[in-house]
Structure 1
Amino acid sequence: MKITWSPLAIDRASEIAEYISLDNPTAASKWIDDIFEKVLILNSMPKMGRTVPEINRKEIRGIIFGNYRIIYRIEEMSIAILTIRHTKQILPVDELIA
């Protein structure tokens, strides 16, 4: 399956890495590498994430990565990474209907 990142998901990953880099640039770089590795697992196991309770649609799922949720949508021949949110943040539903 092809994995695509929405502009919002890319922005969120960049913002998080930028914040981490304020204290530790090496950790920020590792965080980016690790999140991309985590997402690559979806190629072989696209349904590994649980259904997102805020929207309850079987094609929209989320996986936990540290303190963050990676929200994605399973499409016919691809996986779309929709957004990344801290687990304590409210997840706006409009970010899921991309």
Structure 2
Amino acid sequence: MGGYKKGNGPVVKIIFSKIAKRDLKHIYNYIKQDSVRYAILEKEKLKTAIDKLYFQPDLGKVFPKFNDERYRELIHSHYSIIYKIESSKQILILSIHHHARLLSNNPAFSDDDE
């Protein structure tokens, strides 16, 4: 997907699904058990990676679980940031998935609606 204008401000709006918000909270809480400092740093790094999508919505590679170029995966450290390009002006963050977890257990990819 191309055709995005580059300018001074963000190109798209980024929305977090309930599952993605929960994922970010779980990541923070898990790391916080050992270090609040590192939990804050990891959360900031994930948000910085996601912020790149404001200007480059198609930065991530096509997510192989779906046969649809709108679904993408941005790799950051041990995480896959899985998102959907909903339109030329909006991205939905579906999930922030740790690579050690089974993708089949991720509720973002169940057949049930949120």
Give distance in 1, aligned partners of 2:84 and 2:24: 17
Cα deviation for residue 88 of structure 1 reads: 3.0
Q: Which has the larger radius of gyration?
A: 2
Give distance in 2, aligned partners of 1:59 and 1:44: 16
TM-score by length of 1: 0.90
Residue 9, structure 1, aligned to residue 1, structure 2: no
What is the aligned length?
98
Residue 67, structure 1, aligned to residue 67, structure 2: no
Q: Which runs of 5+ in 2 are unaligned?
A: 1-11
Cα deviation for residue 57 of structure 1 reads: 1.2
Cα deviation for residue 94 of structure 1 reads: 5.8
What is the aligned partner in structure 2 of residue 80 from structure 1? Answer: 92
Secondary structure of the corresponding residue to residue 103 of structure 2: coil
Paired residue type of 1:49:
G
Inter-CA distance 80–24: structure 2 relative to 1 (3 Å threshold): same
> Aligned residues: percent identity?
29
RMSD across aligned positions (CA): 1.7
Q: Which runs of 5+ in 1 are unaligned?
A: none
